[in-house]
């Protein structure tokens, strides 16, 4: 069976840091941008990272409890519908309403379960914002550096867009490698050979395997 699970080594604990932190509402998390449209996205990312450090340092809580928190995060702080649609590209146009609904549901659950296994791997990493720069008319990249005593520093760029009066993360770029582009390439290989129903079948199968692999 063809695998669509990305190489998680490309997207390390940095994604986990932002995901878990986003569950905890920060006072100005949905505040308006400054006039240059740049400062607030940096505060958004740094605030999430700072909150995450304190949360990840506390290893209490079951996997089920963490997954419930991550599900809220994905819906509130990541533009999951846009990410999911981008990941299948041109195939979206020819999908039925039911296929779209089912795919988006499975995609969100698959991302949740694929990355949630990495949150127990926190080992003292720190995150700091280096700079911000605009990406087109609507987006801002927030460049961060993930430092660890166990490995080399990692550069992570968070692509942030303002959607429905709040910031959303639409891509994570680790050392120049886009999670979004990588996922699209891997899905495209499946879609060319097996179509959307084939991709849906594989997502279901991999969700079953991820559930079976959970610690009891």
**pTM, rounded to two decimals:** 0.76
Cα–Cα dist 39/167, whole Å:
12
Evaluated on CA atoms 195, 200, 201, 203, the torsion sign reads positive
Looking at the chain, the whole-number percentage of residues with pLDDT higher than 70 is: 66
Range from 54-63, 131-140, 197-206 that averages highest in pLDDT = 197-206
Q: What is the pLDDT of residue 197?
A: 95
Q: What is the pLDDT of residue 166?
A: 83
Q: What is the pLDDT of residues 64-88, one digit of tens each?
A: 776 676 677 667 778 889 999 999 9
Residue among 187, 180, 183 at smallest CA distance from 157? 180
E strands, 104-176, are 126-135, 139-147, 154-163, 166-174
More confident residue, 166 or 7: 166
Q: What is the pLDDT of residue 32?
A: 38
- CA distances to 39, 86, 87, 192, 200 from 91, in Å: 36, 10, 10, 10, 13
Q: What is the pLDDT of residues 181-190, one digit of tens each?
A: 988 999 999 9
Q: What share of the chain is helix, strand, coil (3-state, %, to 5)?
A: 55, 20, 25
Cα–Cα dist 175/153, whole Å:
10
Q: What is the pLDDT of residue 51?
A: 65
Q: What is the pLDDT of residue 5?
A: 46
Cα–Cα dist 121/95, whole Å:
38
Evaluated on CA atoms 104, 105, 106, 112, the torsion sign reads positive
More confident residue, 152 or 49: 152
More confident residue, 91 or 8: 91
| Structural domains present in the chain | 14-205 (3.10.450.710)
Instruction: Give the distance from CA 156 to its chain's centroid.
Output: 12
Q: Which two tokens mark 181? A: 């582009």
């Amino acid at each position: 069976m063809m695998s669509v699970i990305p190489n998680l080594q490309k997207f390390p604990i940095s994604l986990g840091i932002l995901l878990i932190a986003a569950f905890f509402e920060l006072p100005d998390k949905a505040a308006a941008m400054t006039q240059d449209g740049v400062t607030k996205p940096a505060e958004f990312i740094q605030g999430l990272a700072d909150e995450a450090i304190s949360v990840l340092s506390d290893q209490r809580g079951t996997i089920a409890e963490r997954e419930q928190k991550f599900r809220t995060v994905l819906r509130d702080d990541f533009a999951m519908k846009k990410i999911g649609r981008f990941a299948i590209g041109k195939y979206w146009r020819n999908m039925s309403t039911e296929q779209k609904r089912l795919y988006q549901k499975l995609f969100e659950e698959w991302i949740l379960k694929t990355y949630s296994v990495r949150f127990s791997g926190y080992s003292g990493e720190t995150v700091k914002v280096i700079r911000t720069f605009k990406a087109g008319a609507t987006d801002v990249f927030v460049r961060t550096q993930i430092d660890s005593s166990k490995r080399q520093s990692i550069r992570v760029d968070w692509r942030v867009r303002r959607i429905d009066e709040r910031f959303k993360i639409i891509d994570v770029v680790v050392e120049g490698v886009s999670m979004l582009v990588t996922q699209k390439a891997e899905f495209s290989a499946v879609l060319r050979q097996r179509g959307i129903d084939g991709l849906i079948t594989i997502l279901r199968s991999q969700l079953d395997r991820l559930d079976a692999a959970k610690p009891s």
